Amino acid sequence: MGIRRSVRRAVFLDRDGVLNAALLDAKGGPVPPRTKAEFAMLPGVAEACAALRQAGFLLIGCTNQPDIARGTTPREFVDWVNQSVMAAAGLDEMRVCPHDDADQCHCRKPKPGMLTDAAAQHGIDLSRSWMVGDRWRDCAAGTAAGCKTLFINRGYAERGPELKPHAVVTGLPEAAAIILKDSP
């Protein structure tokens, strides 16, 4: 019996700021929507995801939601946002880390746990997969998992990725075009 080779490819997608709009706090940093009225999908997301799916990629959302652990956002609302995003974008799955940094879990980005767990479950070849995010944590998780990374620069008042991503883009439609061009 030989070693089973992972053959599936995936695009891992951060949620807030990649699929749906992130809000800005008083310091210019991104925060997730807190009410249904604040929730909005970003333009071109559905079409970009459809093109990636058509090319054979699994689409897996990977989102840190520490406000669950902090008690500032109910899990039910996070689940509602996740279900709304999955339906609008046509994702295969949404993985959620409900922990804060102090919890030291393996799934909170910049650690690669959400990506590596999904790879093990779905037979994903991480070296042929991509992580798309709008924060340094997303790119660091993708790099640690062995994926190519794309950084969506939203101009947040925070540091960018420490390791150079494959490319810096303005949104998911541009990211999808790069993935499709670079992934035969």
Amino acid at 49: C
Task: Based on the residue annotation, tell me whether 16 is a catalytic residue of this protein.
Answer: yes
What is the rounded distance in angstroms from the CA atom of residue 56 to the CA atom of residue 119?
A: 15
What is the rounded distance in angstroms from the CA atom of residue 95 to the CA atom of residue 176?
A: 20
Q: In Å, what is the CA distance from 99 to each residue of 11, 73, 104?
A: 23, 12, 8
Out of 14, 67, 134, 138, pick the active-site residue.
14
Out of 16, 67, 134, 138, pick the active-site residue.
16
List the Cα angle 134/80/42 in 5-degree steps. 35
Task: Based on the residue annotation, tell me whether 14 is a catalytic residue of this protein.
Answer: yes
CA neighbor of 179 nearest in space, from 118, 144, 129: 129
Could you give the residue numbers annotated as active site? 14, 16
